[in-house]
Amino acid sequence: MVSFTAASNSLGMASVPHGVARGRNVLGHHLKIPKIQLVPSRQKRYKSSVSGFPDKKKENPMKTRMMAWMAGVLLLVACGKKDKAEPASETKSPMGESMAPDAAMQAQDAAMKAEDKVNEKLNQAQNLADPNKKLDLETYKKLLLDHASCEIKNEEIDPQCPAVKALQDAMAGSRMVADLAGGAANLGKELFAHESPAVRIKAVGLMASVFGTQKESQDIIVEAAKKEKHPAVLRAMVRTVSNDGARNPAVAEMLLALSSHESPLVRREVVFALSSTWNREMKGGPEKLAEMMEKDADMDVRKAACEYAGRLGDDKLMPAYTKLTAGSDETLRGACLKGLVAMWWSYPFHDTASQKAYKLTISLLGKKPRTREFPVWTVPGIFKTVNAEKFAEWQKKAPWYKPAELIAALSDIIRDPNANWLGRVGAVDSLVTLGAKKADLEKLRKPLGAEPKGDDVHVAGALDKAIAAAK
């Protein structure tokens, strides 16, 4: 049997500096493993290993095990090949053992290749985990493509999918992607036609921008939406071009067409797009929202339209708001009241000013009997937050606004035990912002008594705090 060289002890094998180790290969044959004579160019790399003395540098246990396994297999393969071949020439080792130079070289090459592969894997893992290093483009692309294994559940990419977790971990800490030439949109276009809905959703998302999607991306999405069948992908498309309806007639046409899509998921996303303040000048937007408020087959879509359409501040919506806030469905009435307020009080920009909406709001806040559902508890507290600079400019556009009217309506809500206590507490906070005087707050507090009961406990606490802070 032809003898062959031993791997170093850094590969997990026994080192034999002054003799020959014996063992068995995978076939059960005895193997003779003499000491290796390394060529000078490789002696430095394996100096500690072949000498039989441990390297002082701390070894990575995982790296050692991986190298041992890979090098061991390659060594046995090399041995098997040499056993079958007739040796052209042999040399004598210093111990007198017969040794084939080719086999020795193969063993050394196997060891180096094994170490290189281990180092490559370790470097990849380190680079993926290091938030200070940019993620290379190919790795990022692969992480996106891995979403092909993800299912769509509840009209979303399954958040439990391993690919989702892997991408989140890789991008942790707002990590950047290296060499993303042309921005993320180009990569999105490359992956846009993938057969997996999950990958298409990720690709569409890459094409989005809060400042408006690129015109080329808009055109691609408009055409693709005509053929796309998956509701979750369509929703992603609508979301990506949601701010571009006023600037691109083709996008406006797409949004209006999808407002009648069979999926409530898609229609609800269209509501958010049509209600975008970027689309205030989009033709047909307010009229379509009013139609959806009144006639959509899905109540969640109707509520969304009622709540968000007011951000446009367009009086074309007033007939629908007037009708629906007088309806019998208190949940829908509450959503419409939120939208109605947004028609004239739109923090933080204060850029809507509908006098008709203001007058109807004052009327509804004062209407009795009140219930736990109406006025919806979030509305009385809306007025506690003001952008002082913008609000001063807004008042010039809204001379019809009378703070005393609003304070009176909110004060009546605070006194009403039938109103939702959260709304009553919110009304106290709004009074403070609107400039209610300390005497007015004390007047509201007095009827609640020294030992308030039930929901009045919360209201009294809010008033006590406001009184203590008042001048």
In the chain, the percentage of residues whose pLDDT exceeds 70 is 70
158-180 average pLDDT score: 84
74 versus 35: which is more confidently predicted? 74
Q: What is the DSSP string of 348-380?
A: TT-----HHHHHHHHHHHT-SS--SSSS-TTST
Digit-coded pLDDT (tens) for 250-280: 999 999 999 999 999 999 999 999 999 999 9
Tell me which DSSP letter residue 265 carries: H
Q: CA nearest 381: which of 333, 445, 428? A: 428
Q: 46, 13 in Cβ contact below 8 A?
A: no
Tokens of 99: 């040794």
Number of C-beta neighbours around residue 206 at 10 A: 21
pLDDT at position 137 is 85
Query: CA triplet 301, 302, 303: central angle to 5 degrees?
Result: 90
C-alpha to C-alpha distance for 271 and 293, rounded to whole angstroms = 10
Q: What is the DSSP string of 102-144?
A: HHHHHHHHHHHHHHHHHHHHHHHHHHHH-TTSPBPHHHHHHHH
63 versus 420: which is more confidently predicted? 420
Rg value, the chain, Cα: 37
Q: Crossing angle, helix 264-274 and helix 231-240, to 10 degrees? A: 0
Q: 445, 394 in Cβ contact below 8 A?
A: no
C-alpha to C-alpha distance for 23 and 31, rounded to whole angstroms = 5
pLDDT at position 67 is 55
pLDDT at position 86 is 45
Q: Worst-scoring range by mean pLDDT, 51-65, 151-165, 223-237, 409-423?
A: 51-65
pLDDT at position 38 is 42
pLDDT at position 179 is 54
pLDDT at position 13 is 38
Tokens of 121: 């894997």
In degrees and rounded to multiples of 5, residue 135 shows phi and psi of: -80, 130
pTM (2 decimals)? 0.71
Q: CA nearest 249: which of 272, 215, 207, 288? A: 215
Q: For residue 249, what is the enclosing H or E element?
A: helix 249-258
Digit-coded pLDDT (tens) for 13-30: 333 333 333 343 433 334
Tell me which DSSP letter residue 447 carries: G
Q: CA nearest 213: which of 241, 189, 251, 187? A: 241
On the question of pLDDT at 349 being above 80, the answer is yes
| Lookup result for tokens 């068995």 | 24
Residue 185's pLDDT band, with cuts at 50, 70 and 90, is confident
Secondary structure class of 24 (helix, strand, coil): strand
On the question of pLDDT at 107 being above 70, the answer is no
